[in-house]
Every structure is written in C-alpha cells, then in structure tokens.
Amino acid sequence: MLKENAPKISLLEIWDQELVEYGSKIIMMRAEFIKKLDKISSEIHKNITNGKEKLHVQYEANVPFMSNLEEQKNIFLEKIEINIEKDLVRRNTSVGPHRDDLKISINGIDIRKFGSQGQQRTAALSLKLAEIMLIKEETEEDCILLLDDVLSELDEERQNYLINSLSNIQLFITSAELSEKVKSTLPEGKTFYVENGHVEEK
C-alpha cells in the first residue's frame, strides 16, 4: 500500500493495527523459540568443539522486546507512529518482525563477519541439531536429515560426535570421502558409491 502514489492514511492506520496485533505475537513467539534454540545449540556446539567454542544465538528484534503482550503492542505502535513520515517517503514499512534478524557469535565474535568457514559450518550444524530436538519435542515425530558434504570440513573428532548425535534419526549423508574410523561409527544402513557416473551399493 505504501508503494501507491497517494496512499490513504486511514487505510494505513487499519493495516498498522493488524501489523501490531499479529506482529507483536510473532515477536514474542520468536523470542521464546530463540531462547530455547540458543540453550540447546550452545550445549551441542560445546560438545562438538570439545569445549573450545561457545556459541550464542541472539534475537535482534526490530521492535524492543517486552515480556507482556499489551506492552509489546504499545511499543510497536509507538515505533510505527514515529517512523510513519519516513516510511511514506521511502514507501516501505521500516518497523516490524519482517525486519528482524539473528546474531550468531562464537566466543563473542560475530561469525557472519569474522568467522571461518569451518566455524560457520559447525555453528550451522549445531543449530540444525537443536532444531531437530525442538521439532521432536513439539511434534513427537522424528525428522529426516540430509547432510550434503558437510563432513569434509570437520575434523575426525567432530565428525564422530556429529554421527553419534544423529544415530536416532533417519539420515542421508553425501561425502567425497570418509575415514574408516568414521565409517565404523555410522548406524546400520545402505552405502552407495558414485564413480564415473555409475552408482554401486557396497
């Protein structure tokens, strides 16, 4: 609506009320979920890295987070009203959960900016494992996980921990190579080798 040549303020106010109503609930639910995700992924990451790295996931809400829903709505609406003139000029809504982000850090360092590829990959795996645990907790159903060539960037110790952590779920792994030690820790299943365009089960 903001992209129209002459947006109607009365209609914008109606849409703003809807944005505040549902956006506030989204913000509070996200904050609660990220709190759980941070706790679980931090413990997983500590185990994967043998205690050398501390992972922290922080929810960066575009609207200040409040513990009470009504307070959340009030601060949300206040920010919309403060930014309305700027939003009309720019023709977009600068306030709301659509502007939220996550900050992921290891030992206090933002890994999106300064983390190595290995750190980013390990953090992503920790978050994925935490998600699986939360989904299982919420739905009481197991997940199916595909790991596409992630093991090649992990040392053998981290590979072993990852495989052992996934022993209770259905898992598909693709990798250019696996050490014999890691192969021995894989749960029972089928192994396929692809060479020169041919697929062979071994």
Q: For 87-123, how does the pLDDT look when each residue is reduced to its tens digit (9 = 90+)?
A: 888 888 999 999 999 999 999 999 999 998 888 989 9
- The pLDDT score that the predictor gives to residue 9 is 73
Domains of the chain, start order: 1-115 (1.20.1050.90), 142-202 (3.40.50.300)
pTM: 0.81
> pLDDT of 121-174, one tens digit each?
899 999 999 999 999 999 988 888 888 877 777 777 777 778 777 777 888 888
Number of CB atoms found within 10 A of residue 52's CB: 10
Phi first, then psi, for residue 4 (nearest 5°) are -70, 155
Continuous segment of H or E residues that includes residue 22: helix 9-48
